[in-house]
Amino acid sequence: MKGILVVGASRGVGFELVKNLLKSGEKVVALSRNMQSLNKLREKYPDRLYNISFDLSEFEKFELVLSELDRIDFIPSTVYYNAAYLKNKNFLEQDKEDVYHTFRINYFSYFFLTQFLLKKYTNPIHFVAISSMGGVQGSMKFGGLSAYSASKAALNNMIESLAAEFSSTKYRFNALALGAVNTEMLQEAFPNYKAPIDALGIADFIAWFGLNGHRYFNGKILPVSSSTP
Ligand SMILES: NC(=O)c1ccc[n+]([C@@H]2O[C@H](COP(=O)([O-])OP(=O)(O)OC[C@H]3O[C@@H](n4cnc5c(N)ncnc54)[C@H](OP(=O)(O)O)[C@@H]3O)[C@@H](O)[C@H]2O)c1
């Protein structure tokens, strides 16, 4: 059966996205480390929501995830790369692990997951990276976010590169570069800042884009922001 894969789905934007897709009648596979909120949601949608507990940093185990998708006979038509790691830390205080972990989650995991998915599935897939305005060249930058913003810039570049390399296929690759959205991650990045939009509000657009955007865009990094940050 065809459906949507949401990577990073237990809270914030990802959780609201899963709820939105389920309300629209989609089948969803949700991948995250914490299962509490997702398991509760599954009680409401036992036939259309499948939860997989997985830590994205363990990319050598992606095959396990894919075998789980086989087990439930699931073929992704849209894949959202939503999970991300952000540590707000001054440049000079960051140690190797801070930087490595940021890139491990925000870039390398998606690099290798995409390889796995492209080798396995030949059906059309719309890959949607949930990126950040911080990763857009020329956008305003902020102290403490150098590793995070650079990792999102790398992710954006990967999306553009994949769209070029697979332009003759039915795969489509786009990124939504979000501005501030009220979530736990925003509080880490900008403590006490209140954004003009919350996860519920933006999920609507992200859901629509994942299901329809491939008809209009490929290889695009689209700013989705009405504020700075
Ligand atoms: N909020 C903003 O202002 C803002 C602005 C620009 C861009 N964005 C982007 O929007 C996306 C969603 O952000 P958010 O604010 O909703 O973040 P969030 O509240 O921190 O949620 C992040 C989600 O990713 C999952 N996740 C994190 N690390 C993971 C790992 N190692 N393995 C599996 N899942 C993992 C978390 O689930 P578990 O902890 O259960 O694993 C959680 O469901 C991110 O890509 C972020 O960079 C957000």
In a domain, 229, yes or no: no
Query: What confidence category does residue 150 fall into, taking pLDDT thresholds of 50, 70 and 90?
Result: very high
CB atoms within 10 A of CB 118: 16
74 vs 18, 114, 205, 217, CA distance in Å? 16, 16, 24, 25
Tell whether ligand 1 has an atom less than 6 A from the beta carbon of residue 85: yes
Tell whether ligand 1 has an atom less than 6 A from the beta carbon of residue 39: no
Of the candidates 214, 217, 208, 213, which has an alpha carbon nearest to the alpha carbon of residue 26? 208
In a domain, 211, yes or no: yes
The arithmetic mean of pLDDT across residues 58-71, rounded, is: 90
In a domain, 113, yes or no: yes
For residue range 175-226, list pLDDT tens digits in order: 999 999 999 999 999 999 999 999 999 999 999 999 999 999 999 999 999 8
Tell whether ligand 1 has an atom less than 6 A from the beta carbon of residue 30: no
pLDDT surpassing 90 at residue 59: no
Indicate the SS3 state at residue 99. Answer: helix
Q: How many domains does the chain have?
A: 1
The arithmetic mean of pLDDT across residues 27-43, rounded, is: 98
Map tokens 């009405």 to a residue. Answer: 226
Indicate the SS3 state at residue 125. Answer: coil
CB distance 202 to 13 below 8 Å: yes
In a domain, 129, yes or no: yes
CA 34 – CA 132 distance, rounded (Å) = 23
Please list the alpha-helical segments (H only) found in the chain. Answer: 12-23, 36-44, 62-71, 96-103, 109-120, 146-165, 184-189, 199-212
Tell whether ligand 1 has an atom less than 6 A from the beta carbon of residue 13: yes
Nearest CA to ligand 1 atom 7: 132
In a domain, 125, yes or no: yes
CA 106 – CA 164 distance, rounded (Å) = 21
Query: What confidence category does residue 1 fall into, taking pLDDT thresholds of 50, 70 and 90?
Result: confident
State the first-to-last Cα distance of the chain, in angstroms, to the nearest integer.
40
Q: pTM for this structure? A: 0.98
14 vs 35, 199, 204, CA distance in Å? 13, 8, 11
Give the domain range for residue 75. Answer: 2-224
The arithmetic mean of pLDDT across residues 119-138, rounded, is: 97
What CATH number does residue 121 fall under? Answer: 3.40.50.720
In a domain, 127, yes or no: yes
Tell whether ligand 1 has an atom less than 6 A from the beta carbon of residue 11: yes
Atom number of ligand 1 nearest to Cα 10: 43
Å from CA of 77 to ligand 1 middle: 21
> Which helix H or strand E contains 173, and what residues bound it?
strand 172-178
Give the residue, out of 13, 106, 108, with the most ligand 1 atoms within 8 A of its beta carbon, to mutate for a pocket test: 13
Tell whether ligand 1 has an atom less than 6 A from the beta carbon of residue 82: yes
Residue 9 token pair: 């789905």
Phi, psi of 206 (to 5 degrees): -65, -40
